[in-house]
Amino acid sequence: MLEKFESYLVAEKRYSSHTVIAYLKDVRQFLDAVEIDMLEDLKDVKHSLIRSWMVQLIEQGIVHRSINRKLSTLRTFFKWCVQEAILETNPMVKIIGPKTEKRLPSFVREQDISVTRLADVFSNNELGQRDQLMFELFYQTGIRLSELIELKKQDFKARQIKVLGKRNKERIIPLSNDLSEALNQYQQNLQGVQQESNYLFTLKNGDKIYPKLVYRKINYYLGLITSLEKKSPHVLRHTFATHMLNNGAGLETLKDILGHANLSATQVYTHNSFSQLTTIYKQAHPRGHKKK
C-alpha cells in the first residue's frame, strides 16, 4: 500500500525525494501508533482515533508546528485512500490542528554579510571558491538547499539561472554581473571527473554534492559572521527576501523569485521589514519625527 502511495507522491504530486521520505515516515509513525498493519484495518480509523493520537503527540512535547506537518501528511494520505477506493470517507475531514505561534524568519543584517565582511571568510583554493559560490547563490538568489544541489551546468546562461523548484516548477532568476562572472570562472576551473559531471556542484569524485555537506559548510561560514542561533542555507534565503523588501522590491516580484505558490507565504517577510518601514516613516512624514 505505501509503495503505491509513494508512487502517487512522486508521479502525480511531483514532490521532492526529501518530501516523499518525510511523508512516508509520518504515515508509518501514525499507523504504528494506532496499530494498523493491514490495508483492510484502515476502515477502523475514525477522526476520534486521530484526535487521540494528536493529543499523545502534544503530551510528548512535540511542537505544534511539527504536529500540523504530520496532520498535513495524513490529509494527503487519506484523501488518496478515498481516491483509490480504499476508504469510503476521509477521517481527516473533522480534524483541526493545534494553533501555532508565528515565528519570524531569522536573517543576517546587511552589514554582517557585506562584501567587506566576507572578504577573508573563504579560503583561496578550489574548495573555498566552490563554498563561496554556494554561499553567494543562496544569498543573491534565495534558492532552496534542494534546488542548489540539483543545479546543472546548463542551467546557467547569460546572467541568469534556471531553477527547478517544488512540484517541478521551473523559474528563471537573474544574476548580478559579479556572481555571473564567478560562475563562469568556477566552471572554467573544473577539471577531471568534475568536468564530466552535469551537476554544477560536485564532490572531488564527480558525485553530486549532498545536503548535509552543504548545510555544514553554510553553518560554518555563517558562524564566522553572525551570532544568530540558526545558521543554515534557509537563513540565507530569509536574508535574501528580507534585504530585497528592505531595498524596495515588491511582494509579487519576490514571490516569483522565491518560487512561492501564493502571496501569503511571501508576506511573512513584511514583518521583518517593519523596522525599515518605521525608519522611512519617521524620516518622510512631517509628524513622524520631532523637529529640532
8 is catalytic: no
Mean pLDDT across the chain:
87
State yes or no: pLDDT of 55 exceeds 80: yes
Top CATH class, 110-280: mainly alpha
State which of 98-102, 115-119, 139-143, 162-166 shows the largest mean pLDDT.
139-143
pLDDT in tens, 200-242: 998 888 888 999 999 999 999 999 999 999 999 999 999 999 9
Q: What pLDDT sits at residue 102?
A: 66
List the catalytic residue out of 162, 166, 171, 208.
166
List the catalytic residue out of 237, 238, 243, 255.
237
Domain ranges, ordered by start, for the chain = 2-83, 110-280
List the catalytic residue out of 70, 130, 144, 255.
144
Phi–psi pair at 144, nearest 5 degrees: -85, 165
Give the model's confidence band at 140: pLDDT under 50 very low, under 70 low, under 90 confident, else very high: very high
237 is catalytic: yes
Percent of the chain with pLDDT over 70: 89
260 is catalytic: yes
269 is catalytic: yes
Q: What pLDDT sits at residue 137?
A: 96
Grid cell, residue 155, equals 542551467
Give the model's confidence band at 122: pLDDT under 50 very low, under 70 low, under 90 confident, else very high: very high
State yes or no: pLDDT of 62 exceeds 60: yes
144 is catalytic: yes
State yes or no: pLDDT of 171 exceeds 80: yes
Q: What pLDDT sits at residue 187?
A: 85
> Taking a C-beta distance cutoff of 8 angstroms, is the pair 183, 189 a contact?
no
| Residue among 129, 124, 130 at smallest CA distance from 209 | 130
Q: What is the mean pLDDT of residues 276-284?
A: 67
